[in-house]
Structure 1
Amino acid sequence: MPRSLPLDLPAPLMLLLHGSKGNARQMLEVMQPLAESEGILLLIPESRGPTWDDKMGRHGEDLAFIDGALAHVFSRHAVARERISVAGFSAGASYALALGILNGDLFSRILAFSPAFVHADEPRGVPAIFIAHGDQDLALPVEESGRRIVAELRAAGFGVHYLEFSGGHSMPVEVVRAAARWLRETPPSVNLP
């Protein structure tokens, strides 16, 4: 919870998902400056195993844990329901895309940093999507992942802001800043319940 956040006003909330074999602490270190500057509550769960459910958002242990964590936050904090986003890095980015697209009535925005793939065959709503990928990514080459995912999502009718940066499999500070600007400037989707 950002120190500057007024306790009585509804705040934006970001569900933030780490990469494979990563952890919540790593994601907090990268995203805490964004949370502080933008007044965003961060919810950073850890996967129940070395990476996220292979069912990609359907009935797995990770999904049950995330549902419980979201309920906990909603019961204790004033959340701006139209400004709930899901974000992730690498495997967490792929999981964020799946969760965000399958639950577009909850998540108005999705931020995917170096995703591997997108799998969401039953979209609900049309969340806005930000994807960033390094042009020198050796773990997930940009041609086979970032660029392909953007093309697939655009063909499916999603609005995608794509940032291809000079670098590898990482979340550079300047890319996180660009994501913060995009969050600030992108209106929430209109198909919320």
Structure 2
Amino acid sequence: MRPGQPTGERLAAGTHAFGEGLLHVPSDLPTGPVPLVVLLHGAGSNPERVLTVVRDREALVYAPKSRARTWDAIHGNFGPDVEALDRALTELFEHFEIKTAAIAGFSDGASYALSVGLANGTLFDNVVAFSPGFVVPGARAGKPEVFVSHGRQDGVLPIEGTSRRIVPALRIVGYRVDYREFTGGHEVPASVSDAAFRRIL
């Protein structure tokens, strides 16, 4: 699926309940085509909390809510979460002309962002994964740019069994990966967030 020409009116600036999540439209969003970031929360979190990561940037930000405590594919296969995301994006494309699209997430949301983003690389130009755990195996499409960060002292998803395996595997099959390790735990330092979103926006 690629966004086409919108047929509806633009939504006003502010944060709106949209689909099964929240859509943030910044007040300084430029006219014409705009960048879109789909932002996925971690396990047990919510759209309100994760929106704070990119709320002040010049991009349309959609933060969906997982049906259960975390995203469906974390426990096996894609299901209602990705179906709900597809419906929301279809509606979103009726209101905004999209210039570029990125999918990003933290922790379980990072694993889901990698999995969905790599499977839909003809839609998502960039995939951002803050402290991912794994990538769901399956078909890939396109070759989006990938950004991965991870704390060396992460006690929730230790780096040795996660990003230090994920990143080389992605590079072997031809993905360009900007990989940032940092001194810290299971978190997204402001400097890392800034580096990721400067790159894609």
- The question of a shared fold, defined as TM-score above 0.5 by the shorter chain, is answered with yes
Letter in 2 for 1:121: G
Greater shift, 120-129 or 56-65, is seen at 56-65
Residue identity in the other structure for 2:172? A
Corresponding letter in the other structure for 1:63? V
Task: Letter of the 1:133 partner, please give it.
Answer: H
- Which of 16, 19, 26 lines up with 2:42 in the alignment? 19
Q: Provide structure 1 residue ranges, at least 5 long, that are not aligned to the other structure.
A: 185-193
Alignment partners' CA distance in 1, 2:200 and 2:125 = 10
Which of 148, 153, 158 is the matching residue for 1:131? Answer: 148
- What do you get for the CA RMSD once the two structures are aligned? 1.6
Q: Show the counterpart of 2:9.
A: none
1:75 partner SS: coil
Letter in 1 for 2:28: S
Cα pair 1:56 1:119 within 8 Å, conserved:
no
- Cα drift, residue 120 of structure 1: 3.4
* Alignment coverage as a number of residue pairs: 177
Alignment identity in percent? 44
**Corresponding residue for 1:118?**
135
State the alpha-carbon separation in 2 of the partners of residues 61 and 19 from structure 1: 17
Q: Which amino acid aligns with 1:5?
A: L
Deviation at 1:155, TM superposition (A): 1.3
- CA displacement at 1:56 relative to structure 2: 8.0
Partner of 1:78: 97
Contact kept, 8 Å, 1:57 with 1:99, in 2: the verdict is no
Q: Distance between the aligned counterparts of 2:167 and 2:143, measured in 1?
A: 15
On the 8 A contact 2:73/2:136 being kept in 1, the answer is: no
Out of 71-80 and 45-54, give the one that drifted further: 71-80
Query: What letter corresponds to residue 16 of structure 1 in structure 2?
Result: L
Query: What residue is the counterpart of 2:21 in the other structure?
Result: none
Whole-angstrom CA distance in 2 between matches of 1:180 and 1:157: 22
Alignment of 1:26-45 (within 5 A): 26-33=49-56, 36=57, 39-45=58-64
Choose the corresponding residue for 1:156, options 173, 179, 182: 173
The TM-score, its normalising length taken from structure 2, stands at 0.84
Q: Following the alignment from structure 2 to structure 1, what is the Cα–Cα distance between the partners of residues 129 and 164?
A: 12
List, as ranges, runs of 4+ consecutive aligned residues in structure 1 with deviation greater than 6 Å: none
Which whole-Å CA distance do the structure 2 matches of 1:25 and 1:172 have between them? 18
Kindly indicate whether the alpha-carbon contact (under 8 Å) linking 1:103 and 1:124 is maintained by their aligned counterparts in 2: yes
Q: Does 1:9 align with 2:32?
A: yes
Contact kept? 2:74, 2:108, Cα under 8 Å? no
Per-residue Cα deviation, 1:104-138 (whole angstroms, up to 9, x for no partner): 11011100000000123211111110001011100
